[in-house]
Amino acid sequence: MKPYSLGTFSARDGVRFVGLVINDRVASLARLATRHGDSMLAGAPTVLGLLENWDASRQALERLAGSVSTQNGEWHEVSDLHTHPAIDLPRQIFCTGANYRKHVVDLTVDSKVGPEGMDDAQLRQWAESMLDERVAHGEPYAFTKPVSAVSGAFDPLVLPGTTTQPDWELELAVVIGRGGYQISRDNALDYVAGYTIVNDISARDLIPRTDYKMLGTDWLRSKGQPGFLPLGPYFVPRAFVPDPHRLKMRLTVSGRVMQDETTADMLFGIERQIEYISRYARLMPGDIICTGSPAGNGTHYNRFLREGDVMEAEIEGLGRQRQVCTGPGNG
């Protein structure tokens, strides 16, 4: 089976189209499918449309990818096109927070959150024990993020004037290909169509509600602002990601490595996240689950995004993102 991925692109005319991606070359799926006599694929207007009937779409895409050649004029370099969000747009976006062991331990130590009187070494040991207990007897922690926050993998990130601490969070995103409710972890991966990259941009100073502390966290203002979820560049089908829990992840800010981990550091794996989220919410085709971010956020370095910064992020086998940070007057 020839590896392929999907994305949403436009050329100079600005008209968006579903692109079949093979070896970082892109062709219009509709044109390829028409030439090969596949009316179903030719009529799919969006990647979301393909996900709505993913079992049939996947089989047709595998046949098409195996029969095409990338050596003719209908194929383009990704750099010659505008890359829009790979799923344009998802239906629902769920985020699993505090889901990487080293990230949570570092946050505990950096923020001095824990029993009073402990030094850093004691806090670290306390956090490790707390996480062992949580994995054994606790549950994932999930929240939603508005679809309006989604942007393309190479779109500029406009830093809003509402925050002084815009932060990065590179994450593996699960793309749902079959709807379901109260899904068991034993067959949770059957509902997964594939994977993509997201960067869960967060305004750290806006997370806690200081006006009424009993409210706790405010995810709308801290994570829901425009451009706060670059998504893509590609949607990679599950068949081409042998083990989503063993993927290398790396993010740099203006050339400095900030995050360099693997998805193996997740506290709750993808199956448990799907089980937990679907216990309370019905999943639908095209939904995104952001699975958490590894250690190395701006909070740890006390260094947040600034105008002129360049973020580059990649996850093994899923491509890479690049965003230039601009000021609020440049959106």
CATH code of 312's domain = 3.90.850.10
Q: Is residue 108 part of a domain?
A: no
Q: Is residue 160 part of a domain?
A: yes
140 pLDDT exceeds 90? yes
Residues 212 and 297 in one domain: yes
* 312 C-beta neighbours (distance < 10 Å), count: 15
Residues 40 and 184 in one domain: no
For the chain, the average pLDDT equals: 96
Residues 225 and 312 in one domain: yes
Q: Is residue 105 part of a domain?
A: no
Containing structural domain, residue 318: 93-99+140-330
Query: Coil, helix or strand for 140?
Result: coil
Residues 192 and 314 in one domain: yes
Name which residue leads in pLDDT, 232 or 112: 232
Q: Is residue 219 part of a domain?
A: yes
pTM of the model: 0.96
Q: Is residue 117 part of a domain?
A: no
Q: Is residue 127 part of a domain?
A: no
Residues 73 and 161 in one domain: no
Residues 147 and 289 in one domain: yes
Residues 57 and 145 in one domain: no
Instruction: Please count the structural domains in the chain.
Output: 2
Q: Is residue 161 part of a domain?
A: yes
Encode burial over 147-166: b for 16+ CB neighbours within 10 A, e otherwise. bebbbbbbbebbbbeebebb
Residues 155 and 291 in one domain: yes
Q: Is residue 111 part of a domain?
A: no
Residues 6 or more apart in contact with residue 152 via CB below 8 angstroms? 82, 83, 84, 85, 230, 231, 232, 233
Residues 23 and 166 in one domain: no
Give the tens place of pLDDT for each residue, 29-85: 999 999 999 999 999 999 999 999 999 999 999 999 999 988 777 999 999 999 999
